């Protein structure tokens, strides 16, 4: 199995401290209470936070028989991405000729996924803020600077264009994020859509 | 937009028309026994109008030439790019003009629930799957016939009898298919047919107009023409009429008596022209164009209603029930669906295009925001955000150092000065509450801030003076240091000293807090940092009774404690070429610029929280 850099991978052998979170060498903070399956298939870029009761389905890789193929990363997450409590990240699947094919989930940098969300998107770009209790349907694509309001249900295959506010069930574009979105953060503060550095830093084991 | 408490909204100065000029003394609104005559000039946060003036700071822009805040009311938008939000395809301006503002590729929305429709092949991978190809590629291989399917509500175009031969260019294919699968003629065919018909008619006698019993017309009877056809017919009819009347055809003259008094007929128009234009009048009167007649048949664009049309609709509604009828929202979504009474009449809605827009100041026409034109890019070429120019205000509750009100002293004073226990969703009424207001300075110059607030907030309900809250700013005038790199401060000795002092102060504050001693003093700032200063606000919330059932004002916001706050900042800044010079250079005194005094004033509304209602 080849991988760009082994250090980028979440490793349980990293510097671990007693407490809620296990912190890896690259600064990933993973809750001890998170349920992570298929660990080798999950790629965290570093300084990613995975909170308690998060369920990462890394075991759902492309096909059952292609496990030996070179690229079977199922979930990849960018830097300073926070997955709040009770979320499920479930790679989307498509039934084709009687075989279930799973497709990888890609999550960008500075993405906040609120508590109790179900994410089956194919890609989530950077600086996305997802409110609590959202459902992101299979194969949905979320572009940059998007805000998804609480409890939105994004239907299957929906493409959310950059810079919009989405809400409702089924989710539709309800507005646009202001120009200053994510830019109002001062030192020591975290705003929606902005850099999540401080939020990540504030989470301690 | 409902923000969580506490929030700060900024009022764009464009909303104040006459009440505020730069000469207004900010102290006129200072608590001086609540001067009644000044009440009118303060910002009324509860007025319905205020909703249109208040914005979160992120939404506002700043014009560098006018030195003023700009809100959506005082900027103009210019469309840069049109794109489909679903396929992210960019549309050229000319395409939008010719084809309309909807995606003309294959993006459709469900007519029932408005989620995106996906194109599904009916026979998925029949025999084309090859062994060598990757399983991922095989999944895409679906063969026709294709249909549109809603992944959210499971609506499919098969329900309205529409299927497609190709999986691409659905828009064009859909144009040619009516609900139920009937193929319509293309526009060219239609025109050809029209022309043929008209030739027949013009060659024939006048009686043919009254009885359009041509074979084509009878054929059409089974399918009433839709709006688009009718409009095309009507358009063609009037074009031909204009042609005939200007050509001086004898045919047109025969109907002169019929339509001479029609409002839109050119006969009327020329009559009016001759009435008002004296010099044109007599000459024009002689060669007055022959007036036109009105459309009479379906072929000419008239919709003929049959007696049983409505009965049929009522009958089908009775049979199929409420669920089979369309909602107003569904009908409004697309002009094609506007007359659809039944769900089976609805057609898939082509996705509306979205735009990327640049923004200009309405006054000086300077660009405030200019995004990169590409859809995929989220960067900006120009972006003048208000939050980079005006100080931001943050509010947070502070435990009451001593109960000033009549209520019992706070039960537990935590070591930290921030009261996490104070619930802003239920502020106890008539009990003093201390709030910490932090002013952050984004500018590279130190600013002088003057705050003012009406001593009593506007009443939350009409005729309820008890609901007014008393607000006191303990330190209404203070300075906030300049922003800039953290390192500038380390290099600057004076700033370093002040920083040390502030650290000492903070430490002292912490100590005194631990013993519960630190008192907010009038005229003194609470805490000070490099580019921020916090002051204490004391609020005595008003009493809000439980909502009166009849009052239409007692909406959900009828118990929100909002404080109107007037902010005035003064600062000195360099102008001219040295404007972009870094603070280091300035501190070194290397460049001597002309200093300019600037001031900026605006109203804010601090949303503190909800006052607990008393029965």
Q: What does the pLDDT read at residue B546?
A: 63
Going by C-alpha positions, the residue among B117, B591, B594, B95 that lies closest to residue A156 is B117
Average pLDDT over residues B511-537: 71
B386 vs A: CB within 8 A: yes
As a whole number of angstroms, the distance between CA B375 and CA B345 comes to 35
List the domain boundaries for chain B.
102-182+318-350, 391-614
Collapsing DSSP states into helix, strand and coil, what is residue B264? Answer: coil
Q: What does the pLDDT read at residue B581?
A: 46
Consecutive H or E run containing B513: helix B493-514
List the domain boundaries for chain A.
9-202
Contact B526, B436 (CB under 8 A): yes
CB spacing of B88 vs A161 below 8 angstroms: yes
CB spacing of A161 vs B354 below 8 angstroms: yes
CB spacing of A170 vs B138 below 8 angstroms: no
Q: How far is CA B66 from CA B69, B360, B440, B442, in A?
A: 9, 12, 22, 18
CB spacing of A96 vs B125 below 8 angstroms: yes
As a whole number of angstroms, the distance between CA A26 and CA A16 comes to 12
Nearest to A170 among B113, B385, B387 (CB): B113
A99 vs B: CB within 8 A: yes
Q: Mean of the per-residue pLDDT values for chain A?
A: 82
Round the CA-based radius of gyration of chain B to a whole number and report it: 36
Positive or negative, the CA dihedral B246, B251, B256, B260 is: negative
What is the chain B residue with the closest CA to A136?
B152
Contact B602, B417 (CB under 8 A): no
Average pLDDT over residues B449-461: 81
pLDDT band, very low/low/confident/very high, at B21 (cuts 50, 70, 90): very low
Contact A23, A205 (CB under 8 A): yes
Kindly tell me if the per-residue pLDDT of A89 is higher than 90: yes
Consecutive H or E run containing B436: strand B433-440
Q: What does the pLDDT read at residue B426?
A: 76
B113 vs A: CB within 8 A: yes
Q: In terms of pLDDT, which residue wins out, B525 or B263? A: B525
What is the chain A residue with the closest CA to B375?
A162
As a whole number of angstroms, the distance between CA A86 and CA A64 comes to 27
Kindly tell me if the per-residue pLDDT of B135 is higher than 60: no
**What tokens does B217 get?**
């017309």
Whether the bond between A170 and the residue before it is cis, its omega within 30 degrees of 0, is: yes
Nearest to A156 among B57, B151, B440 (CB): B151
pLDDT band, very low/low/confident/very high, at B482 (cuts 50, 70, 90): confident
pLDDT band, very low/low/confident/very high, at B196 (cuts 50, 70, 90): confident
CB spacing of B59 vs A172 below 8 angstroms: no
pLDDT band, very low/low/confident/very high, at A120 (cuts 50, 70, 90): very high
Q: Mean of the per-residue pLDDT values for chain B?
A: 72
Q: How many CB pairs under 8 A join A and B?
A: 95
**Chain A residues with CB inside 8 Å of B440's CB?**
186
Q: In terms of pLDDT, which residue wins out, A103 or B407? A: A103
Kindly tell me if the per-residue pLDDT of B261 is higher than 70: no
As a whole number of angstroms, the distance between CA B56 and CA A180 comes to 10
Kindly tell me if the per-residue pLDDT of B350 is higher than 70: yes
Consecutive H or E run containing B534: strand B532-540
Collapsing DSSP states into helix, strand and coil, what is residue A187? Answer: coil
As a whole number of angstroms, the distance between CA B97 and CA B93 comes to 6
Q: In terms of pLDDT, which residue wins out, B345 or B258? A: B345
Contact A205, A17 (CB under 8 A): yes
Kindly tell me if the per-residue pLDDT of B133 is higher than 90: no
**Chain A residues with CB inside 8 Å of B124's CB?**
96
Best-predicted range by mean pLDDT (B278-287, B293-302, B352-361, B492-501): B352-361
pLDDT band, very low/low/confident/very high, at A150 (cuts 50, 70, 90): very high
What's CA A172's distance to the chain center, in Å? 21
As a whole number of angstroms, the distance between CA B1 and CA B118 comes to 32
CATH topology of domain A9-202: UDP N-Acetylglucosamine Acyltransferase; domain 1 (2.160.10)
pLDDT in tens, B61-79: 998 888 888 888 889 999 9
Q: What does the pLDDT read at residue B212?
A: 45
Q: What does the pLDDT read at residue B409?
A: 34
Nearest to B58 among A157, A161, A184 (CB): A184
As a whole number of angstroms, the distance between CA B362 and CA B76 comes to 6
Nearest to B151 among A99, A155, A178 (CB): A155
Collapsing DSSP states into helix, strand and coil, what is residue B80? Answer: strand
Nearest to B57 among A63, A156, A180 (CB): A180
Query: Closest Cα of chain B to A171: distance in Å?
Result: 7
What is the chain B residue with the closest CA to A62?
B136
Kindly tell me if the per-residue pLDDT of A62 is higher than 80: no
pLDDT in tens, B537-590: 888 887 777 655 544 444 556 678 888 888 888 888 876 554 444 455 555 555
Average pLDDT over residues A92-98: 82
CB spacing of A170 vs B354 below 8 angstroms: no
B3 vs A: CB within 8 A: no
As a whole number of angstroms, the distance between CA A154 and CA A123 comes to 13
Kindly tell me if the per-residue pLDDT of B466 is higher than 50: yes
Estimate the crossing angle of helix B227-246 against helix B187-203, to 10 degrees: 40
A181 vs B: CB within 8 A: yes
A188 vs B: CB within 8 A: no
Kindly tell me if the per-residue pLDDT of B401 is higher than 50: no
Choose the weakest-confidence range: B269-273, B390-394, B573-577: B573-577
Round the CA-based radius of gyration of chain A to a whole number and report it: 16
Kindly tell me if the per-residue pLDDT of B495 is higher than 90: no
A156 vs B: CB within 8 A: yes
Query: Closest Cα of chain B to A117: distance in Å?
Result: 18
As a whole number of angstroms, the distance between CA B53 and CA B11 comes to 5
Residue of B10, B58, B62, B333 to mutate for A, most A C-beta atoms under 10 A: B58
Q: What does the pLDDT read at residue B259?
A: 45
Kindly tell me the number of DSSP H helices and DSSP E strands found in chain A. 1, 23
Which residues 130-169 of B are in CB contact (within 8 Å) with A? 135-136, 138-139, 150-153
pLDDT in tens, B374-386: 888 888 888 888 8
A153 vs B: CB within 8 A: yes
Average pLDDT over residues B221-228: 63
Nearest to A99 among B60, B113, B135 (CB): B135
Burial class (CB in 10 A: 0-12, 13-18, 19+), B175: middle
pLDDT band, very low/low/confident/very high, at A11 (cuts 50, 70, 90): very low
Q: In terms of pLDDT, which residue wins out, A52 or B469? A: A52
Query: Closest Cα of chain B to A102: distance in Å?
Result: 9
As a whole number of angstroms, the distance between CA B352 and CA B107 comes to 9
What's CA B572's distance to the chain center, in Å? 36
CB spacing of A170 vs B376 below 8 angstroms: no
pLDDT band, very low/low/confident/very high, at B418 (cuts 50, 70, 90): very low
What is the chain A residue with the closest CA to B385?
A180
Best-predicted range by mean pLDDT (A69-83, B15-29, B193-207): A69-83
**Chain A residues with CB inside 8 Å of B114's CB?**
170, 172
Q: In terms of pLDDT, which residue wins out, B18 or B545? A: B545
Parallel, antiparallel or unpaired: strands B433-440 and B447-452: unpaired
Give percent above pLDDT 70 in chain A: 83
pLDDT in tens, B42-58: 677 767 777 778 888 88
Nearest to A158 among B115, B135, B136 (CB): B115
B280 vs A: CB within 8 A: no
CB spacing of A173 vs B83 below 8 angstroms: no
Q: What does the pLDDT read at residue B214?
A: 45
Q: Which residues pair with B147 in a beta bridge?
A: B120
Kindly tell me if the per-residue pLDDT of B488 is higher than 50: yes
Kindly tell me if the per-residue pLDDT of A165 is higher than 90: yes
As a whole number of angstroms, the distance between CA B393 and CA B409 comes to 29
Q: What does the pLDDT read at residue B38?
A: 43
Query: Closest Cα of chain B to A182: distance in Å?
Result: 8
CB spacing of A161 vs B129 below 8 angstroms: no
**What tokens does B344 get?**
């089976």
Q: What are the percentages of helix, strand and coil residues in chain B, rounded to 5?
A: 30, 25, 45
Predicted-complex ipTM score = 0.83
Nearest to B88 among A145, A153, A159 (CB): A159
As a whole number of angstroms, the distance between CA B505 and CA B510 comes to 8
Q: In terms of pLDDT, which residue wins out, B513 or A175? A: A175
Choose the weakest-confidence range: A10-14, B306-310, B559-563: A10-14
CB spacing of A161 vs B386 below 8 angstroms: no
B485 vs A: CB within 8 A: no
Measured from the Cβ of residue B543, the count of other Cβ atoms closer than 10 Å reads 17
Kindly tell me if the per-residue pLDDT of A1 is higher than 60: no
For B287-391, strand residue ranges (E) read: 349-350, 354-361, 367-371, 380-383
Q: What does the pLDDT read at residue B277?
A: 62
CB spacing of A162 vs B369 below 8 angstroms: no
Give percent above pLDDT 70 in chain B: 61
Kindly tell me if the per-residue pLDDT of A65 is higher than 70: no
């Amino acid at each position: 199995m080849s991988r760009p850099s082994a250090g980028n991978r979440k490793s349980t052998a990293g510097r671990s401290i007693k407490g809620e979170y296990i912190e890896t060498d690259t600064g990933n903070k993973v809750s001890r209470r998170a349920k992570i399956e298929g660990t080798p298939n999950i790629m965290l870029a570093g300084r990613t936070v995975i909170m308690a009761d998060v369920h990462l389905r890394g075991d759902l890789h492309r096909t059952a028989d292609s496990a030996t193929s070179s690229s079977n990363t199922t979930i990849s997450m960018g830097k300073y991405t926070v997955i709040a409590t009770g979320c499920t990240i479930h790679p989307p699947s498509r039934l084709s000729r009687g075989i279930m094919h799973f497709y990888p989930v890609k999550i960008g940098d500075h993405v906040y996924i609120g508590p109790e969300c179900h994410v089956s998107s194919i890609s989530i770009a950077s600086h996305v803020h997802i409110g609590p209790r959202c459902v992101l349907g299979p194969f949905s694509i979320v572009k940059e600077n998007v805000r998804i309001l609480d409890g939105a249900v994004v239907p299957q295959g929906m493409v959310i264009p950059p810079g919009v506010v989405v809400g409702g069930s089924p989710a539709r574009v309800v507005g646009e994020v202001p120009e200053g979105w994510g830019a109002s953060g001062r030192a020591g503060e975290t705003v929606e859509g902005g850099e999540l550095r401080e939020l990540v830093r504030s989470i301690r084991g | 937009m409902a923000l969580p408490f506490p929030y700060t909204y900024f009022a764009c100065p464009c909303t104040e028309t006459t009440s505020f000029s730069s000469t207004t003394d900010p102290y006129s609104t200072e608590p001086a026994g609540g001067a009644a005559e000044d009440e009118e000039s303060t910002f009324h946060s509860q007025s319905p109008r205020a909703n249109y003036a208040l914005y979160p700071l992120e939404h506002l822009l700043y014009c560098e030439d006018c030195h003023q805040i700009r809100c959506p009311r005082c900027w103009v938008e210019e469309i840069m790019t049109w794109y489909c939000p679903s396929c992210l395809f960019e549309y050229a301006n000319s395409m939008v003009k010719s084809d309309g503002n909807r995606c003309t590729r294959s993006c459709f929305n469900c007519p029932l629930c408005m989620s995106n429709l996906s194109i599904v092949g009916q026979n998925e991978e029949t025999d084309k799957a090859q062994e060598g190809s990757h399983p991922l590629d095989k999944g895409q291989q679906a063969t026709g016939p294709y249909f549109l399917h809603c992944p959210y509500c499971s609506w499919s175009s098969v329900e309205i009898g529409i299927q497609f031969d190709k999986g691409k260019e659905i828009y064009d294919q859909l144009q040619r298919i009516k609900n139920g699968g009937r193929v319509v003629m293309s526009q060219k065919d239609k025109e050809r047919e029209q022309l043929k018909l008209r030739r027949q008619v013009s060659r024939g006698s006048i009686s043919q107009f009254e009885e359009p019993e041509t074979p084509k017309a009878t054929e059409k009877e089974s399918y009433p023409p839709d709006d688009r056809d009718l409009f095309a017919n009507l358009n063609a009819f009037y074009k031909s009429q204009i042609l005939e009347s200007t050509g001086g055809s004898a045919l047109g003259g025969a109907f002169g008596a019929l339509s001479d008094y029609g409002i839109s007929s050119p006969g009327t128009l020329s009559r009016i022209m001759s009435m008002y234009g004296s010099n044109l009048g007599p000459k024009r009167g002689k060669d007055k164009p022959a007036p036109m007649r009105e459309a009479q048949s379906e072929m000419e664009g008239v919709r003929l209603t049959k007696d049983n049309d409505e009965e049929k609709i009522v009958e089908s509604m009775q049979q199929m029930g409420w669920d089979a009828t369309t909602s107003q929202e569904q009908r409004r979504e697309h002009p094609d669906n506007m007359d659809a009474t039944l769900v089976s009449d609805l057609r898939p809605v082509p996705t509306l295009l979205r735009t990327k827009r640049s923004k200009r100041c309405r006054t000086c026409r300077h660009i405030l925001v200019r995004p990169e034109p590409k859809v995929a890019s989220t960067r900006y070429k120009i972006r003048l955000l208000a939050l980079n120019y005006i100080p931001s205000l943050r509010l947070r509750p502070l435990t009451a150092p001593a109960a000033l009100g009549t209520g019992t002293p706070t039960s537990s004073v935590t070591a930290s000065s921030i009261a996490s226990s104070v619930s802003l969703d239920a502020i106890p009424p008539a009990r003093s509450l201390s709030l910490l207001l932090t002013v952050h300075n984004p500018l590279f110059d130190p600013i002088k801030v003057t705050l003012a607030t009406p001593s009593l907030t506007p009443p939350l309900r009409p005729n309820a003076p008890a609901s007014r809250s008393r607000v006191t700013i303990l330190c209404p005038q203070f300075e906030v240091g300049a922003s800039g790199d953290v390192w500038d401060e380390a290099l600057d000795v004076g700033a370093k000293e002040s920083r040390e002092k502030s650290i000492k102060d903070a430490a002292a504050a912490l100590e005194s807090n631990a013993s519960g001693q630190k008192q907010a003093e009038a005229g003194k700032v609470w805490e000070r940092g490099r580019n921020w200063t916090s002051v204490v606000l004391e609020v005595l919330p008003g009493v809000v009774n439980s909502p009166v059932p009849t009052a239409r004002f007692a909406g959900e916001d009828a118990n929100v404690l909002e404080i109107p706050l007037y902010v005035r900042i003064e600062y000195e800044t360099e102008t001219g070429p040295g404007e972009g010079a870094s603070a280091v250079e300035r501190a070194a005194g290397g460049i001597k610029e002309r200093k300019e005094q600037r001031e900026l004033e605006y109203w804010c509304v601090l949303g503190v929280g909800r006052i607990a209602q008393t029965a």
